[in-house]
Every structure is written in C-alpha cells, then in structure tokens.
Amino acid sequence: MANLTRDFFIALSNSEFLNENARKWGFRLGAEKFVAGTDIYAAAKKVRELNQHGITVTLDNLGEFVYDREEAIEAKNQILNVIEQIHELELDSHISVKLTQIGLDIDKDFCLENMRDIVAKANENHIFVNIDMEKFVHYQPTLDLLKELRKEYKNVGTVLQTYLYRTEEDLKELKDVRLRIVKGAYKESEDVAYQTKEEIDANFIKVVKERLQGEAFTSIATHDHHIINQVKKYVEENNINKDKFEFQMLYGFRTEMQYALAEEGYRFCTYIPFGNDWFGYFMRRLAERPQNMNLVLKDTFYT
Ligand code: FDA
C-alpha cells in the first residue's frame, strides 16, 4: 500500500499537464507549508529568520519540465537575480539548481553554457552552487556537466542518492567535491536502484561514514532521526571535526529538530524552495510522507 501511494504521487509529480497548470493556479493544496513564497523577497524573509538562529540556507528557485530555450534562459536569469539578492541582502545562503530547469532536456551544451553563467556569477560573489540530482536518466549527464564546470570553478558540487547501486563507485571519483548525500526522491527500477528502505538506509550510513573520513565538505540531508543519531554517534566516537559536515532538511519539515540540531552546535542548512513551479516538488514530498496529505485535505475542505 505504501509503495502504491508513493508511486501515485510520483506519477502526479511527473505530469507535465498538472505542473503546467499549477503554475497558473498560484499556491494550492497547502503547498505554502513547504514552499516559502512565490518570489525571492518572500523567501528572503524566511532566510533571515533562520540565519538569526545560526542556520544557513540553500535557496531553490523552483522549476523543472523546461523544454523551450526561452523558458530556460528566463529561468537562468531568475537564478542570476537570486544570486544578486543573496549578495545585496547579505543573506547566509547558497543556491540549489536543477539542470532540467535550465535546458538539460533541450541540449547539453546549451545547459552547460547557462550553468557556466550561473556558477561564474556565484563565484564572483563567493556563493556555492549545488546541482540537485534528478531522475536516473539525468544522472550521467549531470556528472558530465559537473566535471566540465569544475575545470574552471570550485564553487560547484552535486548530490548523490544512496538508492543507486553506483553511488559508492562515484563517491571515489567525487572525493574532492562538496556533496549532499540523500536517499533519493524518484522512482527508479531495480536494475539501477535498491528498492527497500533497509538497503537504502544502510548504504546512506556507509556512504556518509566514507565521506567523513575524507577532506571534502558533506551535507547530510535527511529527516530520519535514526540516521541522524547514528551519524552523531560516529562523529563523536571518531573525533570528527563538526566543521566537515552539516545536516540539511527541507523547509517546513521537522522545524523543531532543525533548531535543536543548530543549538546543539551542529552546522545546519535548510533547503528553501520558492516560486510558482511548486507542483512537482510538492508531490514528491507527499510521495515521501503521505501523512502530509492531512494538510492537503485541510486546505481543500476547511478553507
Ligand atoms: P524518510 O522519508 O526515509 O523517513 C525515515 C523516517 O524518518 C520516517 O519513517 C520517520 O520515522 C522519520 N521522519 C521523516 N520525516 C519526518 C517528518 N516530517 N516528521 C516526523 N518524522 C519524520 N532527493 C533527490 O533525489 N535529489 C536531491 O537533490 C534531493 N535533495 C534534497 C535536499 C534536502 C535538504 C533533503 C532533506 C532531501 C533531498 N532529497 C533529494 C530528498 C531525499 O532523497 C528523500 O527523498 C527525502 O529526504 C526523504 O527521505 P528522508 O531521509 O528524509 O527520510
């Protein structure tokens, strides 16, 4: 049953029709609990609140399913504006970008050019750029683009998903790159990905431990307290410097735990999505945690 519910919401997240229409609806279904507004100014308020509690942020100007060059350039310009605003408003924030938003499905070289502009501008402003990892079909192209970008810039990194069998191997190749480790949010086949929570969690712990033995910075992105507790224990027992890693969670999830971890002295970063393109992101969050459906029902029937 849990798998069926997950598959249902992932299928909705993949619907171009619904994503397209949701852009016109404005926020619905309780999405504002997880998406911090439709523009950078609304998001900046949330960034400030978190910064005041010693929490840093990664901002995601939401967007996916872009198959048109003009739209991809518009998305790139919006991201350049986000970088400018981070600098001008002196926000403690880096940015997260999805390559499909800036043309990966149109043409790889075109996407690379857009990404170069983004990383160059971020570099001028000492801002890190994280490339979110999307579906497996985009996995290798994402690593290829990252490799190209890193020939010129060091302020760019990506995400590894521990549901993929090949993560452990890619870890070696990316040992000098700042990485975010996640379980993985998409539906992937058993040809490429572990299917059970036990296997995915075990791989998560294995990958994180390996990263913490290396030098590069790691973002440990999970809401799973079992994993967080295991990491804390490992760090303590192995005398690992707390500056080598941070915990990350999504905006609107386990907010009290986010503050508590920061208060305990761990580096903490909240992923804040904003913008009109909220539908796919929101459906993936429902896929992970159907309990969030309560919010949808409340929003639909009680308002
Ligand atoms: P999971 O959903 O497996 O939950 C495990 C357990 O934790 C639950 O059984 C429950 O006990 C507890 N729990 C979880 N959420 C809770 C809540 N809200 N309240 C109470 N208890 C809760 N994916 C991807 O493919 N590419 C990407 O680039 C990213 N980026 C990303 C950034 C950040 C900051 C995060 C946190 C996540 C991502 N993800 C992602 C999504 C990620 O792959 C994954 O789908 C989700 O984080 C869900 O898995 P969790 O590890 O959080 O716990």
**Rg, Å, the chain Cα set:** 18
Q: What is the mean pLDDT of residues 208-233?
A: 97
Which of 182, 187, 272, 281 gets mutated to test ligand 1 (max ligand atoms within 8 A of its CB)? 182
Query: Does the Cβ of 43 fall within 6 Å of ligand 1?
Result: no
User: What is the pLDDT confidence band of residue 268, given thresholds at 50, 70 and 90?
Assistant: very high
- Secondary structure of 32-57 as H, E, C letters: HHCCCCCCHHHHHHHHHHHHHCCCEE
Distance CA 211, CA 217 (A): 8
pLDDT confidence of residue 296: 52
Query: Does the Cβ of 34 fall within 6 Å of ligand 1?
Result: no
Q: Please give the structure tokens belonging to residue 4.
A: 């069926």
Q: What is the mean pLDDT of residues 226-244?
A: 97
Residue 104 one-letter amino acid = L
User: What is the pLDDT confidence band of residue 66, given thresholds at 50, 70 and 90?
Assistant: confident
Query: Does the Cβ of 57 fall within 6 Å of ligand 1?
Result: no
In the reported structure, the alpha carbon of residue 288 is separated from the centroid of ligand 1 by a whole-number distance in angstroms of: 7
Instruction: Point out the least confidently predicted range of 13-22, 137-146, 277-286.
Output: 13-22
* Per-residue pLDDT at 29 exceeds 70: no
Residue nearest to atom 18 of ligand 1 (CA): 253
Domains and CATH numbers, the chain: 1-35+278-298 (no CATH), 36-277 (3.20.20.220)
Mean pLDDT of the chain, nearest integer: 90
Distance CA 108, CA 115 (A): 10
Strand pairing category for 218-221 and 245-250: parallel
Percent of the chain with pLDDT over 90: 73
Name the active-site residue from 60, 105, 170, 180.
180
pLDDT confidence of residue 11: 77
180 is annotated as an active-site residue: yes
132 is annotated as an active-site residue: yes
Q: What is the mean pLDDT of residues 263-268?
A: 97
Query: Does the Cβ of 288 fall within 6 Å of ligand 1?
Result: yes
Residue 79 one-letter amino acid = I
Better-scored residue on pLDDT, 284 or 237: 237
* Per-residue pLDDT at 269 exceeds 80: yes
**How far is residue 91 from each of residues 56, 158, 229, 280, measured CA to CA in Å?**
9, 21, 30, 27
User: What is the pLDDT confidence band of residue 279, given thresholds at 50, 70 and 90?
Assistant: confident
* Per-residue pLDDT at 299 exceeds 50: no
Query: Does the Cβ of 271 fall within 6 Å of ligand 1?
Result: yes
pLDDT confidence of residue 37: 86
> For the complex shown, is ipTM > 0.90?
yes
Q: In this structure, are residues 60 and 299 in contact, taking their beta carbons and an 8 Å threshold?
A: no
User: What is the pLDDT confidence band of residue 301, given thresholds at 50, 70 and 90?
Assistant: very low
pLDDT confidence of residue 206: 97
- Go through the chain and tell me how many residues it has: 303
pLDDT confidence of residue 176: 96
Query: Tokens 């400018």 correspond to what residue?
Result: 84
pLDDT in tens, 105-159: 999 999 999 999 999 999 999 999 999 999 999 999 999 999 999 999 999 999 9
